[in-house]
Amino acid sequence: MAARASWKGHLRLSLVSCPVKLFPATSASERISFNQLHKETHNRINMKPVDPELGLVERSDLVRGYEYEPKQYVIIEDEDIEAVRIESNHTMSIEAFVDQEDVDPIYQDAPYYLAPDGAMAEETFAVIREAMIRSGKLAVARLVMTSRERVVTIGPRENGMVVTTLRNPNEVRGTGEYFGNIPYGDPDAEMLELAQKLIEQKVRPFNPKDYEDRYEVALMAMIREKLKGHNPIIAAAPERGNVINLMDALKASLGEAKPAAKSKAKAPAPAKESATKVSLQAALDASKAAAPKAPRKKA
Dist. CA 274–CA 281, nearest whole Å? 13
Question: What are 129-138's contacts with CB under 8 Å, separation 24+?
Answer: 129/156, 129/159, 129/160, 129/161, 130/156, 130/271, 132/97, 132/156, 132/161, 133/271, 135/97, 136/99, 136/100, 137/97, 137/98, 137/99, 137/100, 138/97, 138/98, 138/99, 138/100, 138/103
**pLDDT tens-digit profile of 216-227?**
888 888 888 878
Confidence of residue 40 (pLDDT cuts 50, 70, 90): confident
Query: What residues have CB less than 8 Å from 221, skipping those under 6 apart?
Result: 232, 233
Rounded to whole angstroms, the Cα distance separating 97 from 103 reads 11
- How big is the CA angle at 193 (ends 189 and 195), to the nearest 5 degrees? 115
The pLDDT, as a whole number, for residue 160 is 94
Q: What number is the average pLDDT over the span 114-142?
A: 93
The confidence score (pLDDT) of residue 258 equals 53
Mean predicted confidence (pLDDT) in 38-56:
89
Provide the pLDDT for residue 28: 80
Tell me which CATH code domain 7-26+83-171 carries: 2.40.290.10
Q: What is the pLDDT of residues 211-267, one digit of tens each?
A: 787 878 888 888 888 788 877 655 566 566 554 677 777 777 777 655 555 545 455
Maximum mean pLDDT: which of 67-71, 186-190, 279-283: 67-71
- What pLDDT does residue 177 have? 87
Question: What gap in Å lies between CA 159 and CA 269, rounded to an integer?
Answer: 10
For 131-176, the pLDDT digits (tens) are 999 999 999 999 888 778 889 999 999 999 999 999 998 999 988 8
- CA-nearest of 28, 20, 7 to 146 is 7
- In the prediction, which pLDDT does 273 show? 46
| Predicted local distance difference test score (pLDDT) of residue 11 | 92
pTM of the entire predicted model: 0.68
Residue with the bigger pLDDT between 232 and 189: it is 189
* pLDDT tens, position by position, 1-38: 567 888 899 999 988 889 999 999 988 877 888 888 88
Average pLDDT over residues 44-65: 90
pLDDT tier at 289, thresholds 50, 70, 90: low
**Would you list the DSSP string of the chain?**
-PPPPSEEEEEEETTEEEEEEEEES---TTS-----B-TTT-PBPP---EETTTEE--GGG--EEEEEETTEEEEE-HHHHHH---GGGTEEEEEEEE-GGGS-GGGEEEEEEEEESSHHHHHHHHHHHHHHHHHT-EEEEEEEETTEEEEEEEEEETTEEEEEEE--GGGSPPSHHHHTTSPP-PPPHHHHHHHHHHHHHT-----GGGS--HHHHHHHHHHHHHHTTPPPPPPPPPP-PPP--HHHHHHHHHHH--PPPP-PPPPPPPPPP-PPPHHHHHHHHHHHHHSPPPPPPP-
Average pLDDT over residues 92-119: 92
What's residue 2's pLDDT?
A: 63
Provide the pLDDT for residue 156. 94
Least confident of 9-18, 80-89, 111-120, 157-166: 80-89
Q: Phi and psi (nearest 5°) for 6?
A: -80, -25
pLDDT per residue as tens digits for the range 275-285: 445 566 666 66
Segments making up each domain of the chain, as ranges: 7-26+83-171, 184-256
